[in-house]
Structure 1
Amino acid sequence: MRFYTVFPEFKNIHIKKDVGMIPILLHSLKGYDSTIVCYENEMNYNKEQLKGTKLITVPKEKDDTKDFLKFIIKNAKNIDVLNLYHVTSPRNFKWMLAYKLLNPKGKIYLKLDADHNINIYKYHQKSFKQKFKNYILKNCDLITVENEKIQKLIENDWNIKVDYLPNGFYDDGNKVTSFESKDNVLLSVGRIGAYQKATDILLEAFVKASEYINGWRLKLVGPVDEDFNGYLNNFFISYPQMKDKIDLVGNVENEDELVKYYNEAKIFCLTSRYESFGLVFVEAEMHGCFIITSDHEASTTIVKDEKVGRIVGIEDIEDTAKAIIEICNNKDLGQKDFQYISEYAYKNFYWPQIIHELHRLLMKN
């Protein structure tokens, strides 16, 4: 099975994300002849990371739509499965149409990576343009989305078959089995200060909770948005006592170093305003962290079991503070719970299992 992932922006950071893991593990676990097609972006990776998956670069001549359309037209008959990402990009519709015209027996696998913004795309409307796009989508052999809320929304609004397939994590076969290094640490990983991540809500909630949770620290890992520096300065002026309770770690690119933060934390908290999925949640669960998450699109996918986490209101400082206080003061939260959370993650979000389901769907459609 010749499986081609066409993603012009592919870089190092994508190797461990869905764009990389799907072709790589379909090759190593299911024997697919996988290829990733992208621009010649700045990449510094070990070829062993691709596990035999080929990487083809396309020269930048015009724009991504035309450059990769040219590649697809030239290679369509040699592609058994064309894997594309996002339904929000007009370029994908041109690529899918060209591929199906040139290789009608070939399969298209479209992975949506969709959040709440999918609402603005009205592919079910009766204008010629939208009817045409709906027609192309219905000719996709497999469309998947990462959470069940968006799956139902799309199926109801667009009248298109969409399968649920979550994102996941991969441990290279080295399963996490020890949780002895955990401490009274509440961890958050992401783009600190980005509107989507609502770091301000978490900080305000932690202030309210701090006097009731002695000995707990909040660690924020990730790059800080420049526009958020002003907020942080004012925050620590208003709450000088929090300087000794909050660590702004900054961006951590080294994977082993990031794992240390997950291993250290008992609780992982992210108060996002919206998420398509949020890989950091399952990475945290993999390492046994109890989850506190806002009620975004993916929340009930990430936390299906109250033993795994707590869902709080979006932009709800009081609700978030209450959850932090309750979980931090739960003296029964221990090794057995961390083990249970980790096993939950392996059962629901482990890439090899997700790949097995994806292979089944590709064979079925």
Structure 2
Amino acid sequence: MRYCVLYPNTRNVNLVKEMGMIPYKLHKNFGYDSKIACYNLDDYTYLQEEVKGLKIDFIDRNYNSYSLDGLRYLKKESKNIDILQIFHVTLYSLLYAFMFKRLNNRGKIYLKLDCSHKLVERISALNKIQYWLLNKYLDKVDLISAEQKELVKKLKELLPKQKNKIINIPNGVDYKYLKSKNIAYDYNKKENIILSVARIGAEEKNIEMLMDAYASIKNVETLGWKLRIVGPIEEGFRGYIDKFFKEHPDMKNIIEFTGEINNRQELFKEYEKAKIFSLTSKFESFGIAFIEAAALGDVIVSTDVGIASEIIRDSNGAVVGIDDTKALSRKLEKFMLTEELEKYSLCTYNVCKENFDWDKIILSLHDNLKQLFINKM
């Protein structure tokens, strides 16, 4: 099966996210002839080990336009593709779908929406002509997936004509990779660390909320916990950090900024050590960091964004409202002080292993893709 992911903006880091992991696992587990078609934007080092066997096909950047360069690529290659994977509800993905089906009507299109609740809001607000055009686009698509179960339900209600095509395919964690690097869940190795991984200073990541909530915990400096914040720090945010530590001098010893950690193994070691993981984002489409943290048993205490709420079962974590600093402070304190944290950690690990293992996810996707061809026989 010749499988192509057409995503012009693919960089090296995307190879170990869904853009690369889906075609890689289809190749590794089921023998697909998989490739990514993209601009040559990076040094693609992950091709050597993490996604070995995945091919990359560079798109000529003649027009510096996703639409035009992608269409030019499809004009040359559509006949050599059995399944085309595209992303998002955008003009360029619409054009890809129409071009591919015109040139290869036997080929199949898999649309990975990679969406949040904002897509539901956008569809709900469409006028009749826009809604008709959306359905015309989706008529060309053979399989559609959303990452969150709640979104799948809402999309089926909004798009009844397409409902039989819409399935849940979340993003995941490659447990085989973790095992190969001797990274594994072991509560006894964990330390009293609250971990956050984000772009520090990006407005939507709202790190201020996490810092303020942590500093508001009563006698937090005596509890024996640390807050470790991993990620690149935007220059404009350094002034806020300096001001924060002037106002809370005791926090200097218990809040640590590590800077960016590019090495995947080192980043997973951070998840391995932490007991609690917290994101205070105002918006996440999926939030892969939640899954990476949960894969190593980090209890999720977060704003209610992305996939966070689907990881929480049996009170093994908590979500709070956007900008609700007081609620976050209370929840962090609760889990820092509870004697049942190990139980919650194990529950989190088990939920993730059952629902967000790339091998299980890809088995489900493979079964659905295979059905597309069986149904046409």
- Would the aligned equivalents of 1:123 and 1:133 in 2 still touch at CA under 8 Å? no
* Structure 2 residue 346 is matched with structure 1 residue 339: yes
- Which of 252, 258, 268 is equivalent to 1:243? 252
Segments of structure 2 that go 5 or more residues without pairing to the other structure are 373-377
Partner of residue 66 from structure 2, selected from 64, 67, 73: 64
Q: CA deviation at 1:210?
A: 5.0
Aligned: 1:364 with 2:366: no
Partner deviation per Cα, 1:149-186 (whole Å, 9 max, x = no partner): 32233333344322111110113351724232211111
* 2:175 counterpart SS class: coil
Q: Give the Cα–Cα distance (whole angstroms) in 2 for the partners of residues 235 and 150 of structure 1.
A: 38
Greater shift in the superposed pair: 322-331 or 338-347: 338-347
TM-score (norm 1): 0.93
Give 2:192's aligned residue.
184
From 154, 164, 171, give the equivalent of 1:167: 171
- Equivalent residue letter for 1:192: I
Q: 1:124 to 1:2 in 2, by over 3 A?
A: farther
Compute the displacement of 1:264 (Å).
Answer: 1.4
Residues 124 and 134, structure 1, Cα contact 8 Å, conserved in 2: no
Alpha-carbon offset, residue 297 of structure 1: 4.5
Please name the residue that 2:375 is paired with.
none
Q: Which residue of 2 aligns with 1:263?
A: 272
The letter of the residue matching 1:319 is: A
Runs (5+) with no aligned partner, structure 1: none
1:302 is aligned to: 311
Q: Does the alignment pair 1:204 with 2:206?
A: no
Query: Paired residue for 1:353?
Result: 360
3-state SS of paired residue (1:4): strand
Partner of 2:99: 98
Q: CA RMSD in A?
A: 1.9
How many corresponding residue pairs? 361
What are the Cα deviations for residues 40-92 of structure 1, in whole angstroms up to 9, with x where unaligned?
112240423332121111121112211110111222122111001111x2111
For 2:141, the equivalent position in structure 1 comes to 140
For the structure 1 residues 123 and 75, does the alpha-carbon distance in structure 2 shift closer, same or farther, using more than 3 Å as the test? farther
Alignment-derived partner of residue 113 in structure 2:
112
Deviations for 1:284-336, whole angstroms, at most 9, x for unmatched residues? 11111111121225332232x035321222211111011011100012322x5
Asked if the contact 1:307/1:341 (under 8 Å) is kept, the reply is no
In structure 1, the residue corresponding to 2:187 is in which secondary structure?
coil
Report the alpha carbon displacement of residue 122 of structure 1 after superposing the two structures with TM: 5.7
Asked if 2 retains the 8 angstrom alpha-carbon contact of 1:150 and 1:297, the reply is no
Fraction of identical pairs, as percent: 34
Q: 1:235 is matched by which residue type in structure 2?
A: F
User: For the residues of structure 1 that align with 2:173 and 2:306, how far apart are their CA atoms?
Assistant: 19
**Which residue pairs with 2:295 in the alignment?**
286
Write out per-residue CA displacement over residues 181-217 of structure 1, whole angstroms, 9 at most, x where no aligned residue: 2111111111122222221111111011152561111
Match of 1:232 in 2: 241
| 2:363 partner letter | H
Tell me which residue corresponds to 1:253. 262
Residue 228 of structure 1 aligns with an amino acid whose one-letter code is F
